[in-house]
Amino acid sequence: MVDHESDYDVDAAIDVQNDSDNDSVFSDDIEDYPDEDELNDDADNFLDQNVIDDVTDKDVDDASYGDFQDDYDESDDYDGGYNSDSDAEAVFPDDDVDSDGGGDVQPQLMNFAAQPPAAAPMAFRAAAAAPARARAPAPTQGKKMCPICRKKPCYSDGKTTFPYCGKTCAAKAKATLCVVCHAKPRYRSGKTTYPYCGKTCAAKAKGGAGQRGLCDYCHKRPKYHDGKKTYPFCGKSCAAKAKPTRPKPVGPTCAIPGCNKPVYKPKNGKAGKYCSRSHVELAKVACLVCHKRKRYGKYPFCGKACARQVERRAPTLLEVPAGHVMFRDVENQFKKSWRSGNPPPIKKLYKLIERNSSVVKYTRYRASVEARGHFRRRKLAAGNERRRWHGTRRECKVGDPGNRHFCGSATCSLCIIMRTSFDLSKAGKNYTSLRFGPGIYTSSTSATAGGYCRNVQASPYKALLLAKVVVGRTIKPDQDHNDWKAPPKGYDSVVAKGTAAGGDELIVYTNDAARPSYLIVFQG
């Protein structure tokens, strides 16, 4: 059996991340720039403020913050330091807990929960024995105050005094650190918050500007430096303005959406449809929705985003471009199974996307047939699934070039099948002409099925369906049985030989045993 492409299954998990395309080399870097485009001016203003003249090393407490930085951000030996949000949860108590370590601190929030508590002073034990008396707040005189809120003393666990009073201030401090050292909080005076922690970092920012050079775009402000990397621009505004703008190409552009590059044209030859060899190869395996990324496996989509986008419009038709691997796969089956002279050329090919509810019913039926027959053990597809051709009556011109929308006629067999799948209740009452009674008839021979394609409106094309059929266990009777409404017990389908066109016909008697998969439009 030919191993054809698998058809799309909505239930299949497609865990693919759709990486977004970068519009320019700066698209990732712009977000790294600070919102302050005037950092150099801020440094001058910061140094010029009179209020800064009163700030001493003692006030800023460089020594304590230096110790804090070493212990919290760099030491691998310190287990209780604040280095991330998760660490903050593990070290600091909730903000309503007394900063001196008293109160009902939940043990699961503390790294030191397993340690036995220190013996309380006699006065404290006496106070605890009299619950009717309100406990007086712990004195804060002589204790170092939190530099963020400046209202509560810094939290202490009895051994280590931390730089902040609790988790809230610790998180705020992390988001408001000096733009130079990234260790100390920015200096605040009244309603003004400076980008630096003190004179030293402000001077470094001003002095470092000369070493880093000026912005590549405005040539006025220094290049932004985050402490590790120097960027080519001073801030987001200049980075955005510096995005390269491509001139509009003259003539046809690459067929890959969003490329906009001119198509490749050899010196002695006809211009192609793509700009490069890489885009030629991409077009062969591209997603049928975005056409920008490679499809996932044998599915017609690159990932969940494109799959969900088209499922919302289901049932619908997606055109398969000529040259795509899916086009070549169906075209090969069409030509090889024609078996009646030269096969006509395929003009258009469409992939039919069904409603999820229809796919689920088909998948469940296929699983039930597989459970009975165990076809995979014989290296066959689940349920002995095959692809078979089906020709029918077309009242409209769906599928013709420029027309891929279903008509609303209640008697257009082609559109009804594509909208709601095969339905035995709409097959009609005259079964005497059917060799094996009312059923869903398909063929392995494209020419045989093509003989049933009939147009109501004049058209140079014919429309043919390629369906998925759960064959299961099949029987090949020696004579016709036009009164059958189901296969004999123990069988799932019937194969009739000796048709008028010389091919065979496969008959199933369950709606969920077949689903239309492709619409082929060929020269009639």
pLDDT value at residue 218: 82
**Residue 426: which of 386, 392, 464 has the closest Cα?**
392
Q: Which pair of structure tokens corresponds to residue 22?
A: 């970068």
Architecture of domain 313-523: Alpha-Beta Complex (3.90)
Local structure of 520: helix, strand or coil:
strand
Q: Which residue has the tokens 């891929």?
A: 404
Rg of the chain (C-alpha set): 37
Q: Which pair of structure tokens corresponds to residue 146?
A: 């939190």
- Within its chain, how far is the Cα of 217 from the centroid? 35
Q: From first to last of its 524 residues, what are the pLDDT tens digits of the chain?
A: 444 544 434 333 333 333 333 333 333 344 444 444 444 445 445 444 433 333 333 333 333 333 333 333 333 333 333 333 333 333 333 443 333 433 333 333 333 334 444 444 443 343 344 444 444 555 556 778 888 888 899 988 888 888 889 888 888 877 777 776 777 778 888 888 887 788 887 777 666 555 667 788 888 777 888 878 888 888 888 888 887 666 666 678 999 988 889 999 888 778 889 999 999 999 999 999 999 999 999 999 999 999 999 999 999 999 999 999 999 999 999 999 998 889 999 999 999 999 999 999 999 999 999 999 999 999 999 999 999 999 999 999 999 999 999 999 999 999 999 999 999 987 655 555 688 999 999 999 999 999 999 999 999 999 999 999 999 999 999 999 988 999 999 999 999 987 665 689 999 999 999 999 999 999 98
Contact residues for 135 (Cβ-Cβ < 8 A; gap 6+): 127
Residue 185 backbone dihedrals phi, psi, to 5 degrees:
-65, 155
pLDDT value at residue 489: 96
pLDDT value at residue 86: 36
pLDDT value at residue 499: 67
Cα-based distances in Å from 91 to 51, 105, 143, 164? 34, 11, 19, 11
pLDDT value at residue 226: 82
pLDDT value at residue 58: 37
pLDDT value at residue 76: 35
pLDDT value at residue 221: 78
pLDDT value at residue 189: 84
pLDDT value at residue 94: 42
Dist CA 330 CA 326 (whole Å): 6
Cα-based distances in Å from 514 to 154, 207, 373, 437, 463? 72, 76, 18, 17, 18
Q: Which residue has the tokens 């977000």?
A: 31
pLDDT value at residue 21: 39
Percent of the chain as helix, strand, coil, to the nearest 5: 30, 15, 55
Domain boundaries, the chain: 30-112+140-212, 248-308, 313-523
Element of type H or E holding 81: none
Q: How far apart are the first and last CA of the chain?
A: 29
Dist CA 324 CA 295 (whole Å): 11
pLDDT value at residue 329: 98
Dist CA 309 CA 100 (whole Å): 56
**Single-letter amino acid code for the residue at 104:** D
